[in-house]
Structure 1
């Protein structure tokens, strides 16, 4: 009787051991797969952040170029506004022309890496929540904001062109001395100064801050 009981206990132990081995093997396999997948995700996130850092550095360069272009356009518009009627008469009598800046503004922001990473559903691979939120804010709030202010400026600039075309049969000195047209140019200068402020106080500082945060994350 004891031999039979001993035999049953041995069999139970063997079964339990086999179950334990199977469960352990499955658990280990799942853990290794999860670890491997997580490691791969973090590698993808690291490559993305490295590319994003390059994009942000280029964004800063483009912002500085655009700021200078706005500044130069504003100087030329202010010179036009300062012209008196006698000065305008003198310019056209000498068969010269008023130099009206024709520059459609707007920096070329680098968004391809961000859009590709986000649209593939991988933005969650960035585990640093603070950094992730700053990236989302930059690309979903600040980049669209500067695109919008540049659009306002360009729309208003084209209104100036429309006014010039409408008055193509009139002497140019008459157009440049027209109070309504001068008011239009004044507003264009104000928009240009506002856009420089948006670049300086909002977009550029966040770009610099993001680069520092990315470098800190990559050096962990």
Structure 2
């Protein structure tokens, strides 16, 4: 290699190092953003970190569950159960896969709401007689594809659940008003909407 080429290669190294540093920082920052919240030990600690909960649920055993919903834009719902003295007994994400699977046929609206937290939206379909609640949940396909978990009620009781995968029609990542999908895209709510993926849970 001649002298000019060697000098050019050496001058490019700092820029390459800086680029790698930026990429690594972005990756680590992304991991931190999606890291689960640290466990709280007291109700006061949870309130200081998260503020007032979306709702408070009084349980039959005398404990209280603090609900921190993030719908319609988020895909988690932190639940923090505390005893009468304000000591945290446990905390969990109400929208993780294991908890979603606990929705069973015959449950009431109130039971589902207590289990999964505040839902994103609801819609009634005259032909099927179903009232459908949905939650935006985590998916593995990136911000350009939305995943909705749907709970179908008839006469106030769960009859089935399903998931809807919503794809932007133009293939773009950014929706109206500058928001990334699914947050800015007015996607349909019915799980059998033509052209969209559909996967039911079976009991």
Alignment TM-score, normalising by the size of structure 1:
0.32
Alignment TM-score, normalising by the size of structure 2:
0.34
Higher Rg of the two aligned structures: 1
Q: Which has the higher helix share?
A: 1
Higher relative contact order (CA 8 A, sep 6+): 1
Q: Which has the higher strand share?
A: 2
